Amino acid sequence: QLQLQESGPGLVKPSETLSLTCTVSGGSISSSSYYWGWIRQPPGKGLEWIASIYYSGGTYYNPSLKSRVTISVDTSKNQFSLELRFVTAADTAMYYCARQSTGIVTWDYWGQGSLVIVSS
Amino acid sequence: QSALTQPASVSGSPGQSITISCTGTSSDVGSYNLVSWYQQHPGKAPKLMIYEGSKRPSGVSNRFSGSKSANTASLTISGLQAEDEADYYCCSYAGSSTFVFGGGTKLTVL
């Protein structure tokens, strides 16, 4: 059974960098059938796609966040990561990592989420 | 890339049917038959309910159905049950490996 688990600091100071890692178990991140991505949800608000990555390194970003975001993959650890720079209170959210199937182009497996609060 | 438009809330009585709309543009919903719908209960991660506009993943009840017309996709839930009370989100492929979500709809089962 595929599982995704987010990890990282729960509190980040304004203007600093938010860093999260998603560990994939029960499946290989190097499969050609999937992309891997990050989606966030501010408290009480809707979902927002942040970025996606393919195991070979191809990256795709939400245009509204592109200047501050980097997504990367470490196939040796079966992990992928997110960096969001120059954070503000507006970046406070539950951050989910998820799998996107290339065949059906949708997010079919999600992690449980990691709450990140931006505050001094 | 603007968020897809969903009604903030819908409600229905047990056994009834409800429909949630999801309006996008000719650049996302209108261009691709790649709208998915997610159910989210409080404190939980979203769960895929519909993909490619109208297909159900294994294990999802056939009470859930999806459709699309032009720039608007719809999710219909028939035979409403108490456990259907949740937030529902639509998501569309928007080209160049990008995605856009809707703002979410809170379903209340009366």
HEC per residue, chain A: CCEEEEECCCEECCCCCEEEEEEEECCCCCCCCEEEEEEEECCCCCCEEEEEEECCCCEEECCCCHHHEEEEEECCCCEEEEEECCCCHHHCEEEEEEEEECCCCEEEEECCCEEEEECC
What's residue A47's pLDDT? 97
The gap from C-alpha B53 to its chain's centroid, in whole angstroms, comes to 9
Which of B57, B89, B93 comes nearest A108 by C-beta? B57
How does pLDDT run across A43-69, given as a tens digit for each residue?
A: 999 999 999 999 888 999 999 999 999
At B28, the pLDDT band (50, 70, 90 cuts) reads: very high
User: Which residue bears the tokens 């080209």?
Assistant: B95
Segment B83-90 shows an average pLDDT of 98
Bridge partners for B99 per DSSP = B93
pLDDT value at B6 more than 90: yes
For residue A88, what pLDDT is reported?
98
| pLDDT for residue B37 is more than 90 | yes
Q: How many interface pairs between A and B have CB atoms less than 8 angstroms apart?
A: 65
Percent of chain A with pLDDT over 90: 92
Strand order in the sheet with B72-77: B18-23, B72-77, B64-69
Task: Say yes or no to pLDDT of B86 above 80.
Answer: yes
Judged by CB atoms closer than 8 Å, whether chains meet at B34 and A105 is answered as yes
**A93 contacts in chain B (CB < 8 Å):** none
* A46, A58, A110 member nearest B45 (Cβ): A110
User: Is the per-residue pLDDT at B40 higher than 80?
Assistant: yes
Mean pLDDT of chain A: 96
E strand or H helix that includes residue B40? strand B35-40
Both tokens of B75, joined, read: 């999710």
Whether the pLDDT of residue A2 is over 80: the answer is: yes
pLDDT value at residue A82:
98
φ/ψ of B82, rounded to 5, equals -55, -35
Hey, are the CB atoms on B36 and A106 less than 8 Å from each other? yes
Put simply, the answer to whether A47 touches B34 (Cβ < 8 Å) is: no
Q: How confident is the model at residue A111 (pLDDT cuts 50, 70, 90)?
A: very high
Residue A72, pLDDT score: 96
Q: What is the pLDDT of residue B14?
A: 97
Which of B56, B97, B105 is best to mutate for the A interface (most A CBs within 10 A)? B97
Contacts of B3 in chain A (CB under 8 A): 46, 48
Q: What average pLDDT does this structure show over B45-72?
A: 96
Q: Tell me, what's the pLDDT at A105?
A: 85
pLDDT of B87 reads 98
Model confidence at B74: pLDDT above 80: yes
The pLDDT tens digits of the residues spanning A72-103 come to 999 999 999 999 999 999 999 999 999 998 88
Residue whose entry in the numeric block shows the structure tokens 């408290």:
A43
